[in-house]
Chain A
Amino acid sequence: MAELFTLPVLLGILYSGIRLATPYLYAAIGETFAQRSGVLNLGVDGIMLMGAYSGFYVAMKSGNLWLGLLAAAGTGILMGLMMSVVSVTLQAQQGISGIGLQLFGLGLSTLLFKTTLGGVKSISGFSPVKIPLLGDIPGLGDVLFNHNVLVYGAFLLVPLANWVLNRTTFGLKVRAVGQNPKAADTLGVNVTLIRYITVTLGGMLAGIAGASLSIALINLFQENMTSGMGFIAVALVYFGSWRPVGVMWGALLFSFVNALQLWIQVLGIPLPSDLAVMMPYILTILALTFAANRAQTPAALTKPFERGEN
């Protein structure tokens, strides 16, 4: 057990924790926008898989990682639009339509994996970019300032999302639509349009989250490679009480525990590996039970809007 508490190992845990938080951050921040406007998208995991696949495939074929990222974002937008049509326009039960989207993404990405890739292949993904000066701080410099561009992007997204939600006219509309769509409607806010934008934005970010796995962190594509990360992202939104900063702390906490259990296995500490793997999930359940601030729940979450209904 003592080997866990050496400086290099602790820095290692910190480093992997930050890396691992990346896909959760993209996916959960995107989901925050959707939920803030009143739409629960449970299909995040399916979108991530499709994003991971399309990002990987395009990057591999074109040899251009940025094109891959673009493809992942585009795929996410398309799937976000699908979710919007079904749950906003057609007013389907959001829980069910989200699961449908997830299964669709899982099935299609598996099929494409088998037909176009045939087996697990790897590429060289985005490489770390050391930030001048800050990256030279002994110890912490490498941990915090020597990551690939998608990791930086994920953490920059947090203050950006916070600003958009709280300081812009668009953010005000999103918050109002999620709390009282009727009131927003009478003030000339287009409820349907706002929800389309947030769900599609959420889709795009979920697509990027998938790509962050396949072309920046793990650099390969495998069927069902997210193994439920999208669902954890949805849980993180509740954990963070629908606030980007809260979501970030949740993502970090989850990833650090995950990194810890990886290191426990690497170091061969005698703890059954199944138990170690369970740690982050048990933590999620506990955290959700005790930390979720229900008063913050968008009042119109999962409720379709129809004008003129009493």
Chain B
Amino acid sequence: MSRRRISLRQELPLLVWLVIVWAALWQNFSPGNLLFGALIAVLVARLFYLPPVELGGRFNVLRAIPFGLHFLTRVVAASFQVLFLAVAKGPKVISAVVAVPLRSHSDLLVTATGHVTALIPGSLVVEVDRSTSTLYIHGINVRNAEDAAQVRRDVRNTEAGLIRIMGTKAELSALNQELGS
């Protein structure tokens, strides 16, 4: 089975990332090393061809920086919350498995939302339903329906942030319409 080839422009983020990893591991950012890294990156990308990741075609850096900072503060807050729960509640902690239907059906956004959610302490992706793009999230210290609604809201906010950063134009306008109405 031959796959559709992707253009160099679509492959560029992967190649740049491979070169950065190469140079970081050698701890050498001299032009010669970068060039050799680029050569190896192209070779690897050609030889070990993976299904292309379908990017949204846009990346909003201005949205990405606040999102990253917000993510860090939430990680810090939630880390201490899990520490507190471990010490104070321990065996009596109540959790829940919450279904969160997502807006987007793109694999990239579902994966990214799942990743960000899983990285924030207190929530864990148990199951992904790809056909309806629903995430099933195990939340710690979710005691009632209100907490479950909070989990759902948090995940959908995360997704909204990610759509603003790298969703397709169609997803972005759908999001704006939803929030505007």
A, B from the same assembly: no
Residues of chain B touching chain A, judged by Cβ–Cβ distance below 8 Å, are none
A residues bordering B, Cβ < 8 Å? none
